[in-house]
Amino acid sequence: MLFAAFRWLDRRKSETGETREEARSSLVGKNVGWRSDVQTEIEDAASSSNKGNDVPPLEEVSESGTLTRRVCILGLAAMWLTGLATIIYGSIVQSSTNDTHDHWGTSFTHKRTIGPFVQLAMAFWITLLTDIAGLVHSTSLRFSLLARRKLTFNSNLRLFTSCPNSVVHSWPVNVIWGWSLISSYACGSMVIVESVKQYSDPGELGFHTYDIVSGYALIFLGFGLLGQASIATWALVVCKFSTWSTNPINTAKVCRDLGWLKPLTRRTMLSVHDTQTLGLHDSPSLPKVRQGSLLKAHSNVRRALIFVWAVTAVAFLWFIAVTVAYQVGGQSIGPSWGTFSRSYTNDWSLIPDWVDVTAFIAISTSLGQSFYTFGPWFLCKYLLTCAFLGGITMDLHIVELLVQCSRDESLWRQTASRSGLDESRQNGAFQVAIGSWETMALFIFKTAVHWIFSMGFGPYWEGIEMRIPQICYLAVSLFLVSLLATYLGLRKPKGPQPATFGHLPTLVDLIDVWPRQGGPNDGGRNDVEGGDEKPSLKLFWGDKGEGGDGFRRAGTAHMALQPIVTTALYL
């Protein structure tokens, strides 16, 4: 349903884009430099550029990001190996389980104290692999959209964006990727299973139970990873990558070099918010002290925030529901040895207490049969886990849009700093990600949220346990994710530098001197339109002096520029 809703919205956006294009065409004679949020004039520029001019092939424009490409290939190789290894190991575990008289293999049991750390390691590894595969998928989507004149922003919701005439980025393939992503995290949380096998330690009173490894969960985990690896490898083979850089400036440079976007004059102080307004832009403007927010710049951000907060609200309702059920259900629904609030010290630890059992509610799915007998009992647990986890995983994926757009804006605003935008931040996708607090925060949230879910919603020998304290912590974690998304969506950048948030037409208008590649094909050329400068791999933005009409201009250069005159008019 979620994918169908976004597909309908995608169609509505296309229809809206066509309507706006008709309005823009009627204003061309008036020298209006307007571009819509959805459908830019890339198509018009490309068609006019192709008349009498040979447009270079997409893959020959830039060669930046070679290290990123190598790391992505290594990451995909690791994903393939991990997927195959988990399937093989899961088959061995399940075969051993089925061959034993008590339906578990002793070599695959371990004490419960190890379980949470195994789940944490699996959540981290799955997140790392899926993010690398996602980088390949999003980069290929970027240039597939660009090749079909449908790219407006540098960052897009890759699983909710389809590309015409590109099968690897069609809606059915996106749905398969989305299910594989959810399945990977769901099966990662199901690998450790609570058993009824007991043991006792010397010097301790009573018996404790083992956790065991689920062979079927490992097999399904392997198929989930292989599903994503297959699509990412497919995209790597069939798509043309102009650059592996995630920097919006490099993407805008590709658009300009191919003639698919052309700069419009008299716009050196106009942000993405200004350029999307119907009207004339011939009049000079004063620099702004504070720019507009991402919420007003990108049409998808509002829907993203609504979805993020909706998931958070559902998580808290889930916690309230299981709490009430535990309190009023009695022994028939909860454990018979106490009430929910009996021990805050033990019951409310982050990791479930294995000695004095954490409060939980159990859902029976196996009808008294063994978890390890393949059939509807395992499928019930698998589908139930995917249903509960699906919204959470998609929630974190949707937050990627705000994180990446915020990161795009941060990269652009570094050109106005004293040090400028250096080469590593221009070309290296992983250097950019590691240096971005937004990206690292989201990576930590992805790992932590899925880890907490695995501790709060886990299989046991005949069903599913919903552990109440961990569900509370899960809801709180999603609340923090929502706060992060809201902050990124509502934050207004400070300073006179026009905000772009990765909007490519705006970047093409604002940049008049482009980054040097510094590679073997650079040939010592400066990508400078007018004027000679000393070779530099840094890019700066600032004041470029007064023009012949008495108004000042802003732009970019390979050397530090003067600060913007806040009281002067700019064109």
- For the cut 60, the answer to whether the pLDDT of residue 347 exceeds it is yes
Residue 550 within a domain: no
Query: Residue 550: what pLDDT?
Result: 85
Write the pLDDT tens digit of every residue in 365-413: 665 555 444 555 778 889 999 999 999 999 999 999 999 999 999 999 9
> How far is the C-alpha of 177 from the C-alpha of 134, rounded, in Å?
10
**pLDDT confidence band for 528 (50 / 70 / 90):** very low
For residue 409, give its domain range. Answer: 2-505
Write the pLDDT tens digit of every residue in 271-280: 999 876 645 4
Average pLDDT, the chain: 79
86 closest CA partner among 178, 224, 189, 182: 224
Q: Is the dihedral of CA 292, 306, 476, 116 positive or negative?
A: negative
- For the cut 90, the answer to whether the pLDDT of residue 185 exceeds it is yes
Residue 514 within a domain: no
- State the DSSP code for 164: T
- Residue 281 has phi, psi (to 5 degrees) of -125, 35
Is residue 192 a contact partner of residue 118, using CB atoms and an 8 Å limit?
yes
Query: Residue 410: what pLDDT?
Result: 95
Indicate the burial class of 151 (C-beta count within 10 angstroms; 0-12, 13-18, 19 or more). Answer: buried
Q: Give mean pLDDT, residues 536-541.
A: 84
Is residue 75 a contact partner of residue 133, using CB atoms and an 8 Å limit?
yes
Q: Give mean pLDDT, residues 522-544.
A: 59
- For the cut 90, the answer to whether the pLDDT of residue 293 exceeds it is yes
Query: Residue 275: what pLDDT?
Result: 74
Residue 526 within a domain: no
Query: Residue 39: what pLDDT?
Result: 37
Query: Residue 41: what pLDDT?
Result: 38
Query: Residue 23: what pLDDT?
Result: 36
Q: Give mean pLDDT, residues 100-109.
A: 46
Token pair 């507009």 in the structure block, residue: 292
Residue 529 within a domain: no
Residue 516 within a domain: no
62 closest CA partner among 120, 142, 152, 166: 142
Residue 511, CA distances (Å) to 115, 265, 302, 506, 538 in order: 53, 11, 28, 9, 13
Structural tokens at position 370: 């063994």
Considering only residues 41 and 557, tell me which one the structure prediction assigns the higher pLDDT.
Answer: 557
Residue 564 within a domain: no
Q: Give mean pLDDT, residues 482-486.
A: 98
Is residue 347 a contact partner of residue 353, using CB atoms and an 8 Å limit?
yes
- Residue 556 has phi, psi (to 5 degrees) of -120, 160
Write the pLDDT tens digit of every residue in 227-282: 999 999 999 999 888 888 899 999 999 999 888 888 888 889 999 998 766 454 66
Q: Give mean pLDDT, residues 302-314.
A: 97
- Residue 4 has phi, psi (to 5 degrees) of -65, -40
**pLDDT confidence band for 98 (50 / 70 / 90):** low
SS3 57: coil
Q: Number of structural domains, the chain?
A: 1
Structural tokens at position 527: 């990508």
Write the pLDDT tens digit of every residue in 11-33: 544 444 443 333 333 333 333 33
Residue 360 within a domain: yes
Structural tokens at position 571: 């064109």
Considering only residues 213 and 460, tell me which one the structure prediction assigns the higher pLDDT.
Answer: 213
Number of H helices, E strands in the chain: 17, 8
Considering only residues 95 and 134, tell me which one the structure prediction assigns the higher pLDDT.
Answer: 134
Query: Residue 260: what pLDDT?
Result: 86
Helix (H) or strand (E) holding 553: strand 552-557
Global pTM reads 0.84
Is residue 76 a contact partner of residue 136, using CB atoms and an 8 Å limit?
yes
Q: Give mean pLDDT, residues 182-195.
A: 88
% of the chain exceeding 70 in pLDDT: 70
Query: Residue 171: what pLDDT?
Result: 95
